[in-house]
Amino acid sequence: MKKFIIKLTLFSILFVSISYLLDYIISTGLKHTEEYRFQSWNDIIDSKINADILIMGNSRAFSHYSPQILDSVLNINSYNIGIGGHPFNVQHLKYELYERHNIKPQLIIQNIDFATFSPHVSILHEREQVFPYINDSLLKNQLINFGYSGAELYLPFYRYFGYQMVIKNGIFEYLGLKHYNFQPAYKGYRPEQGKWDGSELNKLSKIEPLMDETTISLFENYLAHCKKFNIKVVMVNTPIYYVASQKLENKKKFNDLIIGISKKYNVPYLDYTNDSICLDTVNFSVAVHLNKKGAEIFSKKLANDLNAMNILK
């Protein structure tokens, strides 16, 4: 019995040691890739951003706002921390992490659209993007509220189960066998590729903006926080193909909500959903996503509008 206990103990020690080693190798390797899923998280954790202007929002943020154009027109340093597929509660988590590790921005460009105020959701889309940074104390404390189990947060390597490609990429990158640069982003910005595809739009009879009270309350608390620390905010609704705009339900209710928030917190609201960009599919990949051409046209318009507002004195 004593020998069995000794063997079991040694096996357990070996198993845990290997788990920690694999966790370290995979996480370190992923941090050195140039994949868009990990790049902005790397820069946040490593305190590399410290931007004058920070861009926040969902996929319509990280694929519509070009920091290169904003920097050249406004003569500032901007960075895009948009996170695709998630409403404001997940965006806010990423901003909290940013603020912990970087200097507060002078201005936040907050993307606003029909999905911003959706109900609180877990991180499901590309949930592996936070795996390498799970030991950050803020993330470890918060991610339990975003669909991550205690085992994923506290057991080494466990969270990587089922993510074979992520495991392989991390190990290969760490060992120097291959460098991964799948769809790299520039300062968080990754424009949509490909030509116009209206198939999904054709399936929809209507698009319903979601306005969850809890999410709206979190958003207002965030604006109050920015005001307290003298961080200026501009809310921006980027172009949407005009046919999709016609299918939006409750547009007045949504606009009244945004205008009310704008007045309450003295935050400008720039609405580009009726801009001339919206009239031509040549600017879009899908109805709610600009392609690279459309994103660059929009970014120049926005930069010039912000310059005219003299918001960064």
How confident is the prediction for the chain on average, in pLDDT? 93
Q: What is the pLDDT of residues 23-63, one digit of tens each?
A: 999 999 999 999 898 999 999 999 999 999 999 999 999 99
Task: Give the total number of structural domains in the chain.
Answer: 1
Q: What is the pLDDT of residues 84-111, one digit of tens each?
A: 889 999 999 999 999 999 999 999 999 9
Return the pLDDT at 4: 63
DSSP category for residue 15? H
Query: Binning pLDDT at 50, 70 and 90, where does residue 233 land?
Result: very high
Q: How many helices (H) and strands (E) does the chain have?
A: 13, 7
Return the pLDDT at 182: 80
Which pTM was predicted?
A: 0.93
Query: Binning pLDDT at 50, 70 and 90, where does residue 183 land?
Result: confident
Return the pLDDT at 207: 87
User: At residue 208, does pLDDT exceed 90?
Assistant: no
User: At residue 1, does pLDDT exceed 90?
Assistant: no
Largest CA distance in the chain: 80
**Is 252 a domain residue?**
yes
Lowest-confidence segment of 8-17, 84-93, 98-107, 296-305 by average pLDDT: 8-17
- Assign residue 37 the CATH number of its domain: 3.40.50.1110
The amino acid sitting at 2 is K
Return the pLDDT at 27: 97
39 neighbors 130 (Cβ within 8 angstroms): no
Q: Which residue has the higher pLDDT, 144 or 122?
A: 144
**Is 130 a domain residue?**
no
- Of all helices (H) and strands (E), which one includes residue 79? strand 78-80
Return the pLDDT at 122: 85
- % of the chain at pLDDT higher than 90: 82
**Is 126 a domain residue?**
no
**Is 220 a domain residue?**
yes
Return the pLDDT at 120: 84
Return the pLDDT at 59: 94
Return the pLDDT at 232: 97
**Is 132 a domain residue?**
no
Query: Binning pLDDT at 50, 70 and 90, where does residue 300 land?
Result: very high
Question: Could you tell me which of 216, 37, 55 has the C-alpha nearest to residue 120?
Answer: 216
Which whole-number Å values give the CA distances from 218 to 93, 210, 224, 230, 264, in the listed order?
A: 11, 15, 10, 18, 15
Return the pLDDT at 193: 86
**Is 292 a domain residue?**
yes
Return the pLDDT at 137: 95
User: At residue 194, does pLDDT exceed 90?
Assistant: no
Domain span at residue 203?
2-121+137-309
d(CA 308, CA 302): 10
The angle that helices 251-265 and 213-228 make with each other, rounded to 10 degrees, is 30
> Can you tell me the mean pLDDT for 58-86?
96
